[in-house]
Structure 1
Amino acid sequence: MGNKRRQRMVKMHPSDGSTCKVETVQMEKCGMPDCQSIPCMLTLWSDWSDCSVTCGIGMRSRWRMLKTPAEVGECNEELEQVEKCMLPECPTDCMVSEWSEWSECNKSCGKGHVIRTRMVKLEPQFGGAPCPETVQRKKCKVRRCSRRLSDEKRRRKEAPERQRNKQMRGDPDIPEHTGCKMRPWTAWTDCSKFCGGGIQERFMVVKRKYRTSQITSCKDMKEIRACSVHPC
């Protein structure tokens, strides 16, 4: 409960100098609603803030303020709201494994090459960095081939027609070692891995050595190549 008051002023006193016998102030009791029943007065919600991340899933928030005087009573309305926000997916770079060990040289003599491989562990996504190379090769030289073999290669170069005829007949590429006869190349072995980079091998073995052959002129041969280089 409280009181309310009103008043008025005398504009002109009586001409005989007496006092105005009128009431110039009035008061009466008044009642107000219970303070706890007065609703909260709040500002409008602010705009949502920027997302907390630049890509992927983050959070954002917005606020509002209390306008009702604190003495009116406690206000239980929420003043802040938080929600998830989703932006385009973050770029994911390609991930690869460590390099394997270098393979054996693919030639038994002279100049050849060795290879090594690595697997793709995670493909790039959403514009991430592409995958680097998964197969590397470099030159190798095991030992020097015999002169008789070099002479045979030179004679083969001097007879291109005979070589073309051999290819037309579908004969396998069998080097003619002086002093020995070689069996055809075996089929390539199964790849050592199903995916991520493996190797295959094939072999050529000596079928027969002649008495005139030298120790270094007639040797089994092996070749290696990469396979299953696609990512797992």
Structure 2
Amino acid sequence: MRRRERMVKMPPIDGSMCKTEVAEVDKCMMPECHTIPCMLTPWSDWSECSVTCGRGLRTRQRMLKSDPSECTEELEQTEKCMLPECPIDCMVSEWSEWSECNKSCGKGHTIRTRMIKLEPQFGGSPCPETIQRKKCKIRKCRQKAKEDRGGAGNRRRRGKQGQDAPVEEQQGCRMQGWSSWSDCSKPCGGGIQERFNAAKKRPRAAQTANCKDRKEIRACNVHPC
């Protein structure tokens, strides 16, 4: 219901009452109560992304100002958010076993390697070294010159540059010569190559320790994968 009123500004001169209505009441029609729409606050600002790098989520909310029984409006929204990619550190495998010494006598070296399993990305930590080398010393190399006693067969043998021949040849040990280097054991990330020098003729004397097959090792393909 609704109502309106008015006032008498000037009554009749004879003092009688005004014969007119000074108030009216009327029916009014409003929507059915169960159809009143939800009253909602504006959406809040989006929250911070749920992660500090990479892909995450963010949310925003709003609240009910009125609470009709059948309000179905959503009060929270979620969306994806994308930040710069997360740094990925370099990953390497475990160290291999130390290789054999590359010399059969005297001072040499031995190496060990490890492989790069994952390259660094997006500013991650760089890769550490993939090849390590350390000294190795088997025994002293002995060189022995035979005394020149006047016979041609007993003359001291000399190398190409006039140096005494190694003890292996002086004692009747002859080597076949170094083979070609083998293929690298790895295409990248640090591998090894080998080459061999086998004894061609061994002396019959008991001192055969200095007449052994030889092997040399060197690093190869040390660039990261």
TM-score, with structure 2 as normaliser: 0.74
Question: In structure 2, what is the Cα distance between the partners aligned to 1:217 and 1:118?
Answer: 33
Aligned counterpart, 1:203: 196
Residue of structure 1 aligned with 2:222, choices 221, 224, 229: 229
Q: Which residue does 1:70 correspond to in 2?
A: 67
Q: Deviation at 1:184?
A: 1.9
Which residue of 60, 67, 89 corresponds with 1:93?
Answer: 89
Match of 2:213 in 1: 220
Partner of 1:168: none
Contact 2:38 2:67 in 1 (8 A): no
Give the aligned residue type for 2:67.
A
Q: Could you tell me how far apart the structure 1 residues matched to 2:37 and 2:202 are?
A: 109
Task: List, as ranges, runs of 4+ consecutive aligned residues in structure 1 with deviation greater than 6 Å.
Answer: 9-14, 16-22, 210-213
In the TM superposition, residue 36 of structure 1 has moved relative to its aligned partner by 3.3
**CA shift at 1:60, angstroms?**
0.9
**Aligned with 1:192: secondary structure?**
coil
d(CA) in 2 for partners of 1:43 and 1:211? 104
Structure 1, unaligned stretches of length 5 or more?
150-160, 164-174
Question: Greater CA deviation, 37-46 or 198-207?
Answer: 37-46
Give the TM-score normalised by structure 1. 0.72
Partners of 2:202 and 2:208 within 8 A in 1: no
1:162 aligns with 2:161: yes
> C-alpha separation between the residues in 2 aligned to 1:89 and 1:176?
64
Give the residue type in structure 2 aligned to 1:123: E
Give the percent of matched residue pairs that are identical in Structure 1 and Structure 2. Answer: 68
Q: 1:61 aligns with which of 59, 62, 66?
A: 59
Alignment of 1:4-153 (within 5 A): 4-7=2-5, 25-67=23-65, 69-71=66-68, 73-148=69-144
- In the aligned structure 1, how far is the partner of 2:133 from the partner of 2:220? 13
Matched residue, 1:182: 175
Change (3 A) 1:81 1:211: closer
Q: Report the Cα distance in structure 2 between the residues aligned to 1:212 and 1:70, rounded to whole angstroms.
A: 109
Inter-partner Cα distance in structure 1 for 2:144 and 2:184: 34
- Alpha-carbon contact 1:176-1:182 (below 8 Å) kept: no
What is the Cα deviation at residue 128 of structure 1? Answer: 0.6
For the aligned residue pairs, the C-alpha RMSD in angstroms reads 3.3
Confirm or deny: 8 A CA contact 1:177 1:218 kept in the other structure: no
Q: Greater share of helix residues, 1 or 2?
A: 1
Does the aligned pair in 2 maintain the 1:94–1:131 contact within 8 Å?
Answer: yes
1:146 is matched by which residue type in structure 2? R
Q: Give the CA deviation at 1:19.
A: 8.4
Unaligned runs of 5+ in 2: 146-159
